[in-house]
Structure 1
Amino acid sequence: MYILLFFVAHWYLSLFSQTFFLHRYAAHQMFTMSKGWERFFYVFTWITQGSSFLSPYAYGVMHRLHHAYADTENDPHSPSFSENLFDMMWKTKNRYNAILHHPDIVEPKFRKNVPNWPLMERIGDNWLSRVGWGTLYTLYYIHFATSGWEYLLLPVHYLMGPVHGVVINWFAHKYGYTNFKVNDTAKNLLPFDFLMMGESYHNNHHKLGGRANFGVKWWEFDPTYPVILVLNAVGVVKLKKNNDLNYM
């Protein structure tokens, strides 16, 4: 029971950091926040993603490139140019690291206003930090695991951020349904997105790239959007008045 609770908590907390802070804020800037809150969510992302911490800067830039060049050779992660999902993950890793360590390789328009806190970027990307988080996960399992099969979940903890990414970037470009005609293969993976907190409405998002609510049809509930509304109501973030526009 303790193992499953920990897995579910890690899955959704890490996913929230990715969809709320890295995706909707860093990449698309669907809302604004103060520098203080931005740094709070930087730290929150480091804690919740742990060993698989993804740089808000590199993620934001890479995701903008994905929208600009979806399903072309310049797309950082397209199933159309990879033999399997592991090949795509490897290519994504290489592109991510290139953006992170050599920012000038990307045109300035893709880097505009993307958050960048060098201190937390260095801490999160440091191998001592990654191994430290992984060690904590392992010790938790050693203490609470009651069956051998539970240890099969540990690799997901180690790679939680990339796992979330590949669910959408691979499967939501291959399977699902479409509400809109777009110039790529983006699909809505789940009609009710209980698993990916709205991220699986990928076709909707590719059509309405700046829309904070990823759901469109009445049954397409985006669990992250009500959280954004609450944070907007209490002043943590400020939703842009017209967030149906693309970021560029």
Structure 2
Amino acid sequence: MISIHIPENKKVYFASDQHLGAPTQEASFPREQKFVNWLNQIKDDAEAIFLLGDLFDFWFEYKTVVPKGFVRVLGKLAEIRDSGIPIYFFVGNHDLWMHDYFEKELNIPVYHSPQKFILNNKTLLIGHGDGLGPHDKGYKRMKKVFTFPLFKWMFKWLHPDLGVRLGQYMSVKNKLISGDEDAKFLGEENEWLVQYCKRKLETAHYDYFVFGHRHLPLHIQLQEDSKYINLGDWIQYYTYGSFEKDKLTLKKY
């Protein structure tokens, strides 16, 4: 568990689901520029930055090769991290094959499951959100296949030109693999991340649950002193989370 003290004039920022590279790198380039502009804007008062997955629409790390492109966003993250601002990255369902490139090249820790953080006096559970809760069974089965060591070993033997192209095609075309759904609020009883949060509250207290994956900005009161925040995306909404003093709010860029 990591505890972060936020000075009076600083904030902690959260963003998720940029899906850079979708449906093509050319088409996503304006979104990459917009996200880099946002990073430029927040770096002056950021105490820390949390990226909650699906930064890329597809990502696979070969031993000596990573997917081509995304130089601007990777360079900006490197610049911010080198300035001393901590960045925490949570793997999403589109970049679940991330290994240690961010850690070695950018000094950014990578998490593959939800983690507990303390911001000032508030307790947060933070993660991407895929495969959690009582539903999403099709994706859960698919994720077991994709993360199975033998499958990853077999995929890495594909030439990167073929492997990355195949991965990008599957990521864009197949919603079962991507785990994406139409971004419509289903009601608290049908939002599986809400159900997941409520179950977690049965055994421990969290002031905030912060997730992405749903591509829908959500702010739901679970209990009097506990809230679920979904960060939305950088495809349609361009929303992000801002934690200042002891409060987390959703904002639009």
The two structures have a TM-score, normalised by structure 2, of: 0.28
**1 or 2, which has the higher helix percentage?**
1
Greater fraction of residues in strand: 2
Q: Provide TM-score, normalisation by structure 1.
A: 0.28
